[in-house]
């Protein structure tokens, strides 16, 4: 096993045998020290005992020698004494012998101190004069008195024997004993090491290793692993604690596992619930969407169903209006027309709101003439306020560009609604359609549109509510004025889709100003809009028209209208017949209903276009104008996609039909001169578009009289102001006054004047006052001509002014 594993940043190392060695060493050191002390004591003891033994032996020898020396000394027989001494010195270890006489009274003790001295020398035993220094030779010295013992006499010391014994045997004995002791110590130590190692291994290392193995097992994930140490010592306690800790760890771990499992199952449950809920919600959403879709389709279908008969009503009224009628009949007819118009408006409103809600409302992005649109709105306002003392004005600052890109129809719808409301809720005073330039750059213009009135105003708390569907400011007031409460809701939505927000400022009793700000891209090229076509609806066409329409009433209406415009009409009932009849090639235009039995208008158109393609690139292309009762915007695209050129919504109106035909047919103009060709294809404008006044006044002569009288007052007044501005070289005022003049001209149908004044206004805006001055005479002639025509219209009302 050679694992060294790292866990949670802690490194567990395999224990090295250091511990055992250390322990053995410690014990060994202690024992050795003790034994050494013990040996020292023992050695010292032996040394002392041996020394004592040696001293005793030497003493005994000295005594024996002293006894032997007694006679020779008494006899002073030196040679006998020497012989005895030599014999004695042959004993091993004896270094020397000295015999001294005891001093007699009165004699110096040193004078006769040494009588005989023998010393062991390398060459043998020699008699020496003096005794060597004992310490120097480390010899052991023993002395004994030499006594003269005679019978009956008291023993008397006659001398002293001193022997010198070598210490060498003592040292040798001591060395031997030391050797023995050391040997004993070594053996003892070896045995101790063996024993200790065994004991340590058993008592310490084995349990520790077991503990380590348990730890390894735990670390490896075996939470059931436990240390098995039976001993009741500290290691046993550690093992118990460790086991408790492992058990706790295991418990915690299993708790954790259990909790995790519970959490997982909870999550799964929640996920299932969420999935189920999402499914339910999706279903509910799909149902709601399907319901909205169904509602919108239902409304579209309803509108189709209602529009088809309405188409008949409106068309028949149009035709009826062109027949001789008594004033009472005309009055009734106007009421019918008004009611039908109102019904169509409501229908359109409901359709619009359902389209917005169903997300079907799509806005166009086409270039259009903003001034032209606003002027139409103004005309509507004039028409709606003719019976009240309300003046209508438009404020279109000179710096505002005319050609922009957007959805002209929807913009006009919003402004018409605001102006319609203003006209409805204003009894007297002023109604103003204002435009404010916010920013202008190379690509776009930001404009604030304002419709201000001096009407009843709106209470503060109702100012938000009126933008809700079917909500009106004041029930009682509204009952008096009528309305569905949808107009502002639609308008706000439309403005929002154009990128603005419709809001209102109002003072109850003083008036209201509805406003919104839009950013409109600038249109680069001039758009081809047939100038004043609507006002020229009295012109005739010399053309053969194929009318494909299955509904009898509609056939009658369209045919009547077409014939009233001078067209020769052939009628067929379905697309198949249209396809067959068209082949004769005599038709200048085909008017095609989109929905027909057998072969519908779209398919018939596709086949006609296919046939034209087959005939080659130079084959004439017959213009096809669609007619459909379905008011959805998408229908228009479907018609165009099928190859149709234009689109008319039913009920057909004379103006719309005329405008559409004018786009494809050359009108047989009442004015004599044809355009000189080339670029100037614009038809000349009539001095007075009488039909326009009739439309605005809806045939009421009193209203026509009133409008004409006002215009006859205002026109010369404006001319005077223009002259004064010319004299002052005041281009700005000049432009303003010209603008105002063109407004008056347009509101009475003075097309030629309006046309000329527009051009002059543009010059004035450019600062080209000279041109205006040059044209001044022509201008006053135009004014005079218009005044004359108006006066004639007022004074000699024809039986019917419509051709
Ligand atoms: P309605 O068809 O009823 O006119 P709108 O949504 O156009 O529906 O208008 C909602 C209500 O807002 C009106 O009924 C009227 O109470 C109030 N209102 C709108 N325009 C004006 C205004 N110019 N002056 C006063 N009240 C107005």
Query: Which residues neighbour 552 within 8 Å (Cβ) at sequence distance 6 or greater?
Result: none
| Nearest C-alpha neighbor of 667 from the set 532, 529, 539 | 539
Banded pLDDT at 478 (limits 50, 70, 90): low
Q: Span 643-671, mean pLDDT?
A: 75
Residues 688 and 783: beta-carbon distance below 8 Å: no
Q: Kind of pairing, strands 589-593 and 544-548? A: parallel
pLDDT for 471 equals 67
Tokens of 296: 């919108």
Instruction: Give me the percent of the chain exceeding a pLDDT of 90.
Output: 18
Q: Is the pLDDT of residue 679 over 60?
A: no
Nearest-atom index, ligand 1, CA of 488: 6
Minimum mean pLDDT range among 310-319, 512-521, 594-603, 719-728: 310-319
How far is ligand 1, taken at its centre, from the CA of residue 363, in Å?
A: 24
Expressed in angstroms, the distance from the first to the final Cα of the chain is 118
Nearest-atom index, ligand 1, CA of 484: 2
Q: Is the pLDDT of residue 208 over 70?
A: yes
Q: Span 512-523, mean pLDDT?
A: 94
Q: Span 520-542, mean pLDDT?
A: 58
Banded pLDDT at 204 (limits 50, 70, 90): confident
pLDDT for 684 equals 61
| Nearest C-alpha neighbor of 542 from the set 605, 586, 501 | 586
pLDDT for 678 equals 35
Nearest-atom index, ligand 1, CA of 471: 10
Nearest CA to ligand 1 atom 21: 421
> Among 348, 473, 481, which residue has the most ligand 1 atoms within 8 Å of its CB, making it the best to mutate?
473
Helix (H, G, I), strand (E, B) or coil at 589: strand
Pairwise CA distance, residues 550 & 650, whole Å? 14
pLDDT for 756 equals 86
Query: Which residues neighbour 213 within 8 Å (Cβ) at sequence distance 6 or greater?
Result: none
Task: Write out pLDDT tens, residues 140-162.
Answer: 888 898 888 777 777 888 888 98
Q: Which residue did the predictor score with more confidence, 501 or 371?
A: 501
Nearest CA to ligand 1 atom 2: 483
List, chain by chain if needed, residues with CB within 6 Å of any ligand 1 atom. Answer: 417, 421-422, 425, 453, 455-458, 466, 472-474, 478, 483-489, 512
How far is ligand 1, taken at its centre, from the CA of residue 466, in Å?
A: 7
Nearest-atom index, ligand 1, CA of 482: 3
Place of tokens 């070289």: 729
Minimum mean pLDDT range among 331-340, 345-354, 717-726: 345-354
Nearest-atom index, ligand 1, CA of 451: 23
Q: Span 715-739, mean pLDDT?
A: 86
pLDDT for 171 equals 82
Pairwise CA distance, residues 662 & 534, whole Å? 10
Helix (H, G, I), strand (E, B) or coil at 324: coil
How far is ligand 1, taken at its centre, from the CA of residue 728, in Å?
A: 45
Minimum mean pLDDT range among 132-146, 215-229, 356-370, 456-470: 132-146
pLDDT for 624 equals 93
Banded pLDDT at 502 (limits 50, 70, 90): very high
Pairwise CA distance, residues 139 & 497, whole Å? 139
Q: Span 260-287, mean pLDDT?
A: 93
Pairwise CA distance, residues 3 & 26, whole Å? 30
Banded pLDDT at 800 (limits 50, 70, 90): very low
Q: Is the pLDDT of residue 529 over 50?
A: no
Residues 227 and 245: beta-carbon distance below 8 Å: no
Task: Write out pLDDT tens, residues 690-715.
Answer: 777 776 665 667 777 777 887 888 88
Banded pLDDT at 687 (limits 50, 70, 90): confident
pLDDT for 658 equals 84
How far is ligand 1, taken at its centre, from the CA of residue 318, in Å?
A: 30
Mean of pLDDT over the chain: 81
Task: Write out pLDDT tens, residues 18-55.
Answer: 777 888 788 888 888 888 888 889 888 888 988 898 88
Q: Span 303-313, mean pLDDT?
A: 77
Nearest CA to ligand 1 atom 8: 485
Q: Which residue did the predictor score with more confidence, 495 or 128?
A: 495
Residues 790 and 711: beta-carbon distance below 8 Å: yes
Minimum mean pLDDT range among 457-461, 504-508, 536-540: 536-540
Task: Write out pLDDT tens, residues 66-86.
Answer: 999 888 888 888 889 889 988
Q: Which residue did the predictor score with more confidence, 576 or 139?
A: 576
Which segments of 729-802 does DSSP mark as H helices, in order? 731-748, 751-766, 769-774, 776-795
Query: Which residues neighbour 259 within 8 Å (Cβ) at sequence distance 6 or greater?
Result: none
pTM, two decimals, is 0.40
pLDDT for 589 equals 93
Q: Span 281-285, mean pLDDT?
A: 93
Q: Which residue did the predictor score with more confidence, 668 or 261?
A: 261
Task: Write out pLDDT tens, residues 735-782.
Answer: 888 887 887 787 778 888 888 888 888 888 888 888 888 888 888 888
Query: Which residues neighbour 254 within 8 Å (Cβ) at sequence distance 6 or greater?
Result: 223
Banded pLDDT at 92 (limits 50, 70, 90): confident
């Amino acid at each position: 096993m050679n694992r060294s594993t790292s866990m949670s940043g802690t490194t567990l190392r395999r224990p090295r045998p250091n511990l055992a060695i250390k322990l053995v060493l410690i014990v060994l050191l202690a024992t050795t020290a003790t034994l050494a002390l013990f040996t020292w004591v023992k050695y010292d003891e032996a040394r002392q005992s041996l020394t004592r033994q040696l001293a005793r032996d030497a003493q005994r020898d000295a005594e024996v020698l002293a006894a032997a020396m007694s006679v020779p000394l008494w006899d002073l027989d030196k040679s006998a004494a020497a012989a005895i001494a030599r014999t004695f010195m042959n004993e091993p270890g004896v270094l020397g012998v000295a015999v001294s006489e005891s001093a007699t009274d009165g004699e110096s003790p040193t004078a006769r101190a040494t009588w005989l001295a023998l010393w062991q020398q390398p060459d043998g035993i020699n008699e020496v004069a003096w005794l060597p220094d004992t310490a120097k030779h480390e010899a052991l010295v023993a002395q004994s008195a030499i006594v003269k013992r005679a019978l009956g006499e008291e023993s008397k010391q006659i001398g002293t024997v001193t022997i010198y014994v070598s210490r060498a045997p003592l040292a040798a004995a001591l060395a031997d004993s030391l050797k023995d002791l050391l040997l004993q110590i070594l053996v003892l130590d070896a045995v101790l090491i063996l024993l200790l190692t065994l004991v340590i291994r058993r008592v310490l290392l084995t349990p520790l290793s077991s503990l380590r193995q348990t730890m390894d097992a735990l670390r490896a994930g075996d939470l059931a692993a436990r240390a098995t140490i039976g001993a009741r010592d500290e290691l046993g306690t550690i093992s118990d604690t460790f086991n408790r800790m492992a058990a706790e760890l295991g418990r915690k771990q299993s708790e954790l596992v259990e909790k995790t499992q519970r959490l997982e199952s909870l999550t799964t449950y929640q996920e299932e619930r969420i999935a189920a809920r999402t499914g339910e919600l999706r279903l509910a959403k799909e149902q709601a969407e399907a319901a909205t879709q169904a509602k919108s389709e239902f409304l579209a279908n309803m509108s189709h169903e209602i529009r088809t008969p309405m188409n008949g009503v409106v068309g028949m009224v149009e035709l009826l209006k062109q027949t001789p009628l008594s004033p009472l009949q005309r009055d009734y007819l106007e009421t019918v027309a008004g009611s039908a118009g109102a019904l169509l408006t409501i229908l359109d409103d409901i359709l619009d709101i359902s389209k917005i809600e169903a997300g079907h409302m799509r806005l166009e992005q086409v270039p259009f003439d903003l001034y032209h649109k606003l002027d139409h709105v103004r005309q509507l306002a004039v028409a709606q306020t003719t019976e009240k003392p309300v003046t209508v004005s438009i404020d279109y600052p000179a710096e505002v560009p005319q050609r922009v890109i957007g959805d002209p129809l929807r913009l006009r719808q919003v402004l018409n609604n605001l102006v319609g409301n203003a006209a409805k809720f204003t009894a007297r005073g002023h109604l103003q359609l204002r435009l404010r330039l916010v920013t202008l750059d190379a690509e776009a213009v930001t404009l604030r549109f304002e419709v201000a009135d001096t009407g009843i105003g709106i209470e503060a708390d109702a100012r938000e509510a009126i933008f809700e569907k079917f909500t009106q400011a004041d029930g009682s007031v509204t009952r008096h004025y009528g309305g569905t409460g949808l107009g502002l809701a639609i308008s706000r939505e439309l403005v929002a889709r154009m990128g603005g927000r419709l809001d209102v400022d109002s003072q109850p009793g003083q008036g209201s100003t509805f406003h919104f700000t839009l950013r409109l891209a600038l249109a680069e090229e001039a758009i081809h809009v047939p100038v004043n076509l609507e006002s020229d609806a009295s012109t005739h066409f010399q053309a053969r028209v194929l009318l494909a329409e299955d509904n009898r009433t509609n056939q009658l209406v369209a045919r009547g209208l077409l014939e009233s415009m001078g067209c020769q009409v052939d009628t067929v009932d379905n697309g198949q017949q249209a396809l067959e009849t068209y082949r004769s090639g005599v038709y200048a235009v085909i008017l095609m209903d989109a929905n027909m039995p057998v072969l519908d208008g779209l398919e018939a158109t596709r086949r006609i276009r296919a046939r034209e393609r087959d005939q080659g690139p130079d084959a004439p292309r017959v213009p096809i104008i669609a007619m459909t009762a379905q008011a959805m915007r998408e229908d228009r695209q479907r018609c165009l996609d099928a190859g149709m050129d234009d689109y008319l919504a039913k009920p057909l109106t004379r103006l719309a039909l005329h405008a559409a035909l004018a786009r494809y047919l050359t009108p047989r103009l009442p004015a004599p001169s044809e355009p000189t060709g080339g670029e100037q294809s614009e038809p000349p404008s009539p001095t007075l578009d009488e039909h326009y006044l009739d439309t605005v006044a809806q045939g009421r002569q009193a209203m026509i009289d009133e409008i004409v009288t006002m215009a006859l007052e205002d026109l010369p007044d404006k001319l005077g102001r223009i002259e004064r501005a010319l004299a002052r070289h005041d281009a700005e005022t000049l432009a303003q006054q010209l603008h105002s003049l063109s407004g008056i001209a347009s509101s009475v149908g003075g097309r030629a004047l309006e046309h000329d004044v527009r051009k002059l206004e543009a010059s004035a805006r450019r600062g080209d006052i000279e041109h205006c001055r040059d044209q001044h005479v022509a201008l006053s002639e135009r004014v005079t001509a218009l005044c004359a025509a108006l006066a004639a219209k007022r004074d000699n009302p024809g039986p019917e002014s419509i051709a």
